[in-house]
Amino acid sequence: MSEDLEVKNHEPSLYNEDLRPIPVKERTWGWFEIFNVWANDVQSLFGYTLAASLFLSYGLNGWTVFAAIMVAGFFVMWLVNLMGEPSVKYGIPFPVMARSSMGIRGANLPAVLRAIVAIFWYGAQTYFASTAVALLLKALFGGSGEALFLGLGGLDWVAFLMVWLFQIWLFWNGIEWITKFLNFAGPFVYAVMIILAGVIWWKAGPGLFAELGTIFQGTGSYEGSAFTAFLAIVGTMIAYFAAVVINYGDFSRFVKTQGEMKKGNFTGLPLNIAFFSAIALVVTAGTVAIWGEALTNPTDIIARVDSLPLTLIAAIMFFAATVGINLVANFIPPAYDLANLYPSKINFRIGGLITSGFALVIGGLWVSVISQIGIFNFVNTLGAILAPIYGIMIVDYYMIKHGKLDIQNLFSADPAGKYYYDNGWNKRALIAFALTSLFSVATVWAPSLEFLSGFSWVIGAVLGGAVYYAVTKK
């Protein structure tokens, strides 16, 4: 890597130590760290339920479901390899990368949108992680769990504040400690999942294989052809990872080489997803053999096993898994995005504190207010309109800039600079974004487009890139 990544003369409103290009000699990540980014992303309670449900809901042969999961894994791997390449090459995070296509000021638009979505889910996931700690506290000390304030009991509030403070402590110690936690959580969750699968297998006995055979024959009631069911699974899995795809550069900038990044993406996406899905399949089949019904929620399974040691270990696992995905998908992105808004005043730590402040409110109000008022369409709308931004950034880097960026100009407010465009905004990118984001918004609100399922994100990205290429070349 021959590029000089030192920024010589930078504009204070565009630069701080957290946004600066990371020289190769300062990078410590290899394929294992990237693998654990994806391991933590998939190992949430929702991720487990999703993986288990895919084998039950579509009526497909089990091998066909695995094939669909693998196709989605390889496709997402291709998407993040494209997005990660410039950040490995130049050591820059997502909001700085966005300056090349959106303009040095225009990059704040996608950064703010991504930050709002991530902050909302950071608060929600902080609450969900606290339910695991509450489970642990109630198993150890008892308690009725009766609601005292805003729908939460005393131990629930203690657990929520413990998780909230733990995450603050973690990010305040810097990316090194976050990396250590992710490297611990990924293997630990897998170890507990394998133990759980072993316990279920032991309890189920030979009946496990009979239920596996039944599931593999296809038992769902999906209305549609096998091909549309296959596409629905692929689309669902792509949609699951879409939130991390656009800001993947926030992670790949720490990787030493392109080869290490690609190896981490290969092991962390198609291979990791297939292995995790296999564990979910074995456990789900075992629940049918033991209790006569398919349990796809891990907390329900732990409750049925009724073992205090397993409950304690599982509670720690749920906590680690949920905090892991929270750091990957919902904390690191807004920390950088907020820093990009006002670099001279907001760094990674301050951005993290702002994120945590909102999380305290969102998580604390989750049970009694937010989950009751149907705010999901608002958040999903903001998430959907990020899809064209991905297409614009990829087309700009590979087809317009031909894989070459000027590091000095990414941090320069000189009106003659390459990325200053029109007062810091690239009008062509804004036009492409405005035209194609209408489609993305429609996929959230228009029932007639519901059939697109997870592919709406892909279509939005393709349209954004195509329109941007057309107006730029013209």
Residue pLDDT, tens place only, 436-451 = 998 888 887 888 887 7
Q: What pLDDT is attached to residue 2?
A: 47
Q: Which residue has the tokens 């993290």?
A: 352
What are the two backbone dihedrals, phi and then psi, of residue 152, each rounded to the nearest 5 degrees? Answer: -115, 145
Q: The CATH number of 18-383 is which of 3.30.2270.10, 1.10.4160.10, 3.20.20.30, 3.90.920.10?
A: 1.10.4160.10
Q: How confident is the model at residue 374 (pLDDT cuts 50, 70, 90)?
A: low
Q: What confidence tens digit (pLDDT) does each residue in 346-360 have?
A: 999 999 999 999 999
* Amino acid (one-letter) located at 167: Q
Residue 395 buriedness (CB in 10 A; 0-12 / 13-18 / 19+):
buried
Cα–Cα nearest to 303, from 51, 131, 47: 131
Between helix 62-90 and helix 45-57 the angle, nearest 10°, is 140
Q: What confidence tens digit (pLDDT) does each residue in 95-144 have?
A: 999 999 999 999 999 999 999 989 988 998 899 889 888 888 888 887 66
Q: What pLDDT is attached to residue 1?
A: 47
Q: What pLDDT is attached to residue 368?
A: 78
Q: How far apart are CA 445 and CA 376, in angstroms?
A: 11
Q: Are 269 and 38 in contact (CB under 8 A)?
A: yes
Q: What pLDDT is attached to residue 261?
A: 98
Q: How far apart are CA 136 and CA 141, in angstroms?
A: 9
| % of the chain exceeding 70 in pLDDT | 96
| % of the chain exceeding 90 in pLDDT | 57
Strand partners, 255: 29
Q: Are 106 and 113 in contact (CB under 8 A)?
A: no
402 pLDDT higher than 90: yes
Q: Which residues contact 422 (CB under 8 A, 6 or more apart)?
A: 103
Strand partners, 152: 149
Q: Which residue has the tokens 């506290």?
A: 137
SS3 content of the chain, % helix, strand, coil (to 5): 75, 0, 25
Domain ranges of the chain: 18-383
Mean pLDDT, rounded, for 211-226: 74
Q: What pLDDT is attached to residue 306?
A: 75
- How far, CA to CA in Å, does 271 sit from each of 38, 44, 470? 11, 17, 37
Q: How far apart are CA 107 and CA 88, in angstroms?
A: 19
Minimum mean pLDDT range among 54-63, 176-185, 296-305, 324-333: 296-305
Q: Are 19 and 347 in contact (CB under 8 A)?
A: no
Q: What confidence tens digit (pLDDT) does each residue in 302-346 have?
A: 778 777 888 888 888 889 988 999 999 899 999 999 999 999 999
Q: How far apart are CA 17 and CA 5, in angstroms?
A: 13
Q: How confident is the model at residue 68 (pLDDT cuts 50, 70, 90)?
A: very high
Higher pLDDT, 17 or 140: 17
Q: Which residue has the tokens 């929270």?
A: 326
State in Å, rounded, how far the first CA of the chain is from the last one. 34
SS3 category, 23? coil
Backbone dihedral region of 257: left (phi > 0), alpha (psi from -120 to 50 degrees) or beta?
Answer: beta
Q: How far apart are CA 15 and CA 19, in angstroms?
A: 6
